[in-house]
């Protein structure tokens, strides 16, 4: 027990109160985030859509998210982090209620795209706010706890959603809306505006010596080193999103129902809840590019195994492998993103980074639905091969990125980065 308390103190000590309110809001939101996780099953089982149509509608959610994450980044740097979070959460609650009572597939597709917009808006604001208030030496642990909260909420959501989906799909949307409103209440009550606390730039502030009026999304979108990292993260997101887009359809084809799918997702969440606090110690003193290469390879192997899966036991075993990969990837991914972003463009860089997830949410189900329908189990071999190529890409991209980060630090008047860029956890 003493060892566990020491571990918690080493991991969570020294983090400001605002971080914990942001953390609590994220946890509440994810614990009730049932609906979009089960959207493909809802469309096929309750609305009678084919696998291809279901994939297209889920893809519309991803397409909306691509616009929403960019919008969220711009608004978080202009309006402020808190205002963006509140607006996105309130809009999400309204749209979830609308989805609960919608029946035509075209209307569901349109609402799904809008939900994608408002679901993705908070991501850059959440991370930018964390970077604003958490000291640099504690950020890796803060990101680790953020990932832990996200998956703790997902584990709770998956367990409850598996039961709710078999009783009432409508309840999924309504509970999601209620949880989103609760998260908005926590943020509105306890989270102050953080924009300007660390960057020195107030909301809608005028240009300064460090902030040209010509800077913005264009700066992030033309930063080659950053874009290589974003591209590799996109592949990671495509792999990860197999669990919520294509895997439910594959499990159904193997005769497994929503409760079995909920158990697989819940297992991944439980592993993260139990093990994520140990990750900083495990990856400390290792290069970020090596950690990301290993994590991506584990994801590739885990999903590749599904080519021979035909019962729940194989799915559960594969989930252990890809979940460990996801756990290892979270802290270095977030830390590299923070290292590459100029402070006054922090949310915009975050928005381009988080664009990978809604983009993957469009590509994974849209192409994956067709691939699964026509290639069957060979779909998982393609997914595994893509992941192994991305693992190699991380090893090749790491050294030049380390030199780029060192140059950014020298230009900012800080000490240069160490020759070997390592995951810093304390």
- 364-423 tens-digit pLDDT: 877 877 777 777 778 888 888 999 999 999 999 888 888 888 877 776 554 444 334 444
Half-sphere exposure of 17 (CA within 13 A, CB side): 5
Are 272 and 243 in contact, with CB atoms under 8 Å apart?
no
Phi, psi of 284, deg, nearest 5: -60, 145
What's the pTM value of the predicted model, to 2 decimals? Answer: 0.71
- 228-266 tens-digit pLDDT: 999 999 999 888 888 877 888 878 877 787 778 878 887
10-residue mean pLDDT profile of the chain (426 residues): values are: 52 78 86 74 80 82 82 88 93 92 89 89 87 82 83 72 72 86 93 71 44 64 89 90 81 79 80 81 83 93 86 87 89 83 79 80 77 78 90 91 80 48 44
Structure-token pair, residue 95: 């749209």
pLDDT (0 to 100) of residue 280:
78
Any idea what the Cα angle at residue 259 is, between residues 253 and 264, rounded to 5°?
80
Report all structural domains of the chain as residue ranges with CATH numbers, in order of start.
Answer: 24-190+219-411 (1.20.1250.20)
pLDDT (0 to 100) of residue 196:
67
Single out the residue of 354, 345, 334, 336 nearest to residue 123, CA to CA: 354
In angstroms, rounded to a whole number, what is the distance separating the alpha carbons of residues 134 and 424? 14
Any idea what the Cα angle at residue 136 is, between residues 133 and 137, rounded to 5°?
125
Q: How many CB atoms lie within 10 A of CB 135?
A: 11
């Amino acid at each position: 027990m003493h060892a566990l308390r020491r571990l918690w103190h080493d991991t969570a000590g020294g983090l400001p109160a605002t971080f914990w309110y942001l953390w609590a809001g994220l946890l509440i939101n994810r614990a009730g985030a049932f609906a979009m996780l089960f959207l493909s099953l809802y469309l096929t089982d309750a609305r009678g859509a084919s696998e291809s149509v279901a994939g297209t509608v889920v893809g519309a959610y991803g397409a909306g998210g691509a616009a929403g994450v960019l919008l969220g980044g711009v608004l978080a740097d202009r309006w402020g982090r808190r205002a963006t979070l509140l607006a996105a959460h309130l809009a999400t609650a309204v749209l979830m209620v609308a989805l609960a009572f919608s029946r035509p597939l075209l209307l569901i597709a349109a609402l799904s795209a809008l939900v994608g917009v408002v679901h993705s808006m908070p991501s850059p604001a959440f991370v930018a706010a964390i970077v604003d208030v958490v000291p640099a030496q504690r950020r890796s642990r803060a990101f680790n706890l953020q990932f832990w909260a996200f998956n703790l909420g997902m584990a709770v959501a998956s367990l409850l959603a598996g039961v709710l989906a078999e009783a009432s799909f409508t309840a999924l949307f309504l509970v999601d809306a209620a949880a989103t409103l609760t998260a908005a209440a926590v943020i509105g009550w306890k989270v102050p505006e953080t924009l300007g606390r660390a960057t020195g730039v107030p909301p809608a502030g005028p240009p300064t010596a460090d902030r040209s009026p010509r800077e913005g999304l264009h700066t992030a979108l033309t930063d080659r080193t950053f874009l290589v990292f974003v591209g590799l993260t996109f592949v990671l997101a495509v792999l990860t999103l197999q669990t919520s887009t294509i895997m439910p359809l594959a499990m159904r084809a193997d005769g497994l129902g929503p409760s079995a799918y909920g158990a697989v997702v819940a297992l991944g969440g439980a592993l993260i809840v139990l093990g994520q606090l140990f990750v900083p110690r495990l990856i400390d003193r290792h290069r970020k590019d090596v950690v990301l290469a290993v994590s991506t390879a584990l994801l590739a192997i885990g999903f590749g195994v599904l080519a021979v899966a035909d019962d729940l036991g194989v799915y559960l075993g594969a989930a252990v492998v890809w979940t460990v990969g996801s756990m290892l990837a979270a802290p270095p991914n977030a830390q590299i993103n923070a290292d590459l972003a100029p402070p006054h463009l922090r949310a915009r860089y975050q928005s381009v980074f988080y664009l990978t997830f809604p983009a993957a949410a469009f590509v994974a189900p849209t192409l994956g639905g067709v691939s699964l329908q026509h290639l069957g189990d060979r779909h998982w071999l393609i997914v595994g091969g893509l992941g192994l190529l991305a693992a190699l890409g991380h090893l090749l991209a790491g050294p030049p990125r380390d030199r780029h980060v060192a140059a950014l630090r020298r230009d900012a008047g800080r000490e240069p980065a160490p020759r070997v860029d390592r995951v810093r956890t304390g």
